[in-house]
Amino acid sequence: MFKSPEDLLSFISDEGVKFIDVRFCDLPGVMQHFTVPASSFDNETFTNGLAFDGSSVRGFQEIHESDMLLLPDPYTARLDPFRTEKTLMMNFFVHDPFTREPYSRDPRNIAKKAEDYIAESGIADLAFFGPEAEFYVFDSVRFSHSENASFHEIDSIEGWWNTGRDEEGGNRGYKTRFKGGYFPVPPVDHYADLRDKISLKLEEAGLTVERAHHEVGTAGQAEINYKFNTLLHAGDDLQLFKYIVKNTAWEEGKSATFMPKPLFGDNGSGMHCHQSLWKDGVPLFHDESGYAGLSDTARHYIGGILTHAPSLLAFTNPTINSYRRLVPGFEAPVSLVYSQRNRSACVRIPITGDSPKAKRIEFRCPDSSGNPYLAFAAMLMAGIDGVRNKIEPPEPIDKDLYELPPEEQADVAQVPGDLNSVLDNLERDH
């Protein structure tokens, strides 16, 4: 949002900002924060930074070497739409307080290093990422785990299981069937107004919303798409997106979750990730003579993604629950092939018309449970390895992969079925 510290400091003064919300990302992917008065935030902050205890942050430092330093990234500064007092939220980079070097475990620094690497490689100078993070909206979330019992229970006014429930004013029906949410108009769709409120807040925060709709699942499953960005800023955008979705739902008395598979028997929530490479202002993935209009660079990039997918999922699908989603029958991609238009393939080539600028690939395996900075960087490195080594992907398959006869299905590689297998693959793929 701001190109320089001077622009940022002028805005703080002119707009009467009261507080700066200092944000950075831990290793699992959760944004952390603390707040400082705007009156104490000045030019020296950009050189001296702000100290914090790294031993209390997951994946960072041990207690005997806990002191760490944060330096602001003014480009990410935006007004927080939820704080009572006028507050500017801003992402920071983590640095070593003694050497002043970027911290090796700072996810934002890792994303920046990935961007720097492709520029230095000469293969490309920009990598664009456009994640599509699906989520559910619940009215109630109850759970407990103790020494002698455990349970969880979620509820939604829209849930198909509530067709027979007594409701205040009478049960008026219009519940969404399992796998029936894509996408009837209201009153079957109970959450159009909530998506509108989220979309307006996203626009106010600087994201360009492209479309919003109910997704396939019951219980308010939704998708709101916004414009792509370069790798580091795409990670920032996704963290901002999740913050706004969750807090807008909270203000409306709801709870939004990006959990990959919160409901048994219905579709999970993925984070399909559109990607493209550019160099000197020219898109590198387009060649009208190639399959689906793909260039050799794009095909080899896909080869890298598919070859490394069994280990790549450690970053793009890093939770046990991720593999409850990656099963056949729920529109989840489990076959390690690519195809145009085909949503049952792990890599899809969207139909983009004749525009070279719009040519991209879509990796459909990821979900939103992990760290976007690490996930995007890992995908980029896998794709670049494919380009460097001219890795050829398997032949594209333009048919429903869920309905292949057994003899054909046996020849199609599948994603690992659990996190342990993925971690074993990651260890072998160092």
The answer to whether the annotation marks 243 as part of a ligand binding site is: no
User: One of 80, 115, 215, 367 is an active-site residue; which one?
Assistant: 215
Residues 95, 214, 272, 299: which is the catalytic one? 272
100 is annotated as an active-site residue: no
| 182 carries a ligand binding annotation | no
Of 343, 385, 392, 424, catalytic: 343
In the annotation, is 158 catalytic? Answer: no
* 228 annotated to bind ligand: yes
Dihedrals phi, psi of 395, to nearest 5 degrees: -60, 140
Active-site entry in 26, 80, 106, 223: 223
> Which residues pair with residue 349 across a beta bridge?
340
User: Using the 8-state DSSP alphabet, how is residue 81 labeled?
Assistant: S
Judge contact between 218 and 263, C-beta under 8 A: yes
Catalytic one among 53, 167, 400, 427?
53
121 is an annotated ligand-binding site residue: no
Number of Cβ within 10 Å of residue 92's Cβ equals 24
Is 261 annotated as contributing to ligand binding? no
Active site residue 418: no
Catalytic residue chosen out of the listed positions 106, 158, 364, 367: 364
Residues in Cβ contact with 355 at an 8 Å cutoff, skipping those fewer than 6 apart:
none
Torsion of CA 193, 195, 198, 200, to 10 degrees: -70
203 annotated as a binding-site residue: no
**Is 115 within any annotated ligand binding site?**
no
The answer to the question of whether 409 is labelled as a binding residue is: no
173 is in an annotated binding site: no
Is 364 among the residues known to form the active site? Answer: yes
**Any catalytic annotation for residue 252?**
no
What is the DSSP track for 313-335?
HHHHS-STTHHHHSSTTTT---E
Say if residues 128 and 229 touch (Cβ distance below 8 Å): yes
The reply to whether 223 sits in an annotated binding site is yes
* CA dist 422 → 19, 27, 158, 374, 415 (Å): 43, 18, 35, 16, 9
Cβ count near 423 (within 10 Å): 15
- 227 annotated binding-site participant: yes
> Does the annotation list 147 as a binding residue?
no
Query: Any known ligand binding at 430?
Result: no
- 276 annotated to a ligand binding site: yes
Buried b (16+ CB within 10 A) or exposed e, 331-347: bbbbbbbbbeebebbbb
**Active-site residue (options: 73, 80, 106, 134):** 134
Length of the chain, please? 430
288 a catalytic residue: no
The yes-or-no answer on residue 343 being catalytic is yes
Catalytic, 388? Answer: no
Options 80, 132, 236, 266, the catalytic residue = 132
- Please indicate whether residue 215 is annotated as part of the active site: yes
Annotated binding site for ATP: 210, 226-228, 274-276, 343, 357
Task: Give the residue ranges of the annotated binding site.
Answer: 132, 134, 210, 215, 223, 226-228, 267-268, 272, 274-276, 325, 331, 343, 357, 362, 364
Residues placed in the known binding site for Mg(2+): 132, 134, 215, 223, 272, 362
Give binding residues for L-glutamate as ranges.
267-268, 325, 331, 343, 364
Q: Which residues are catalytic?
A: 53, 132, 134, 215, 223, 272, 343, 362, 364
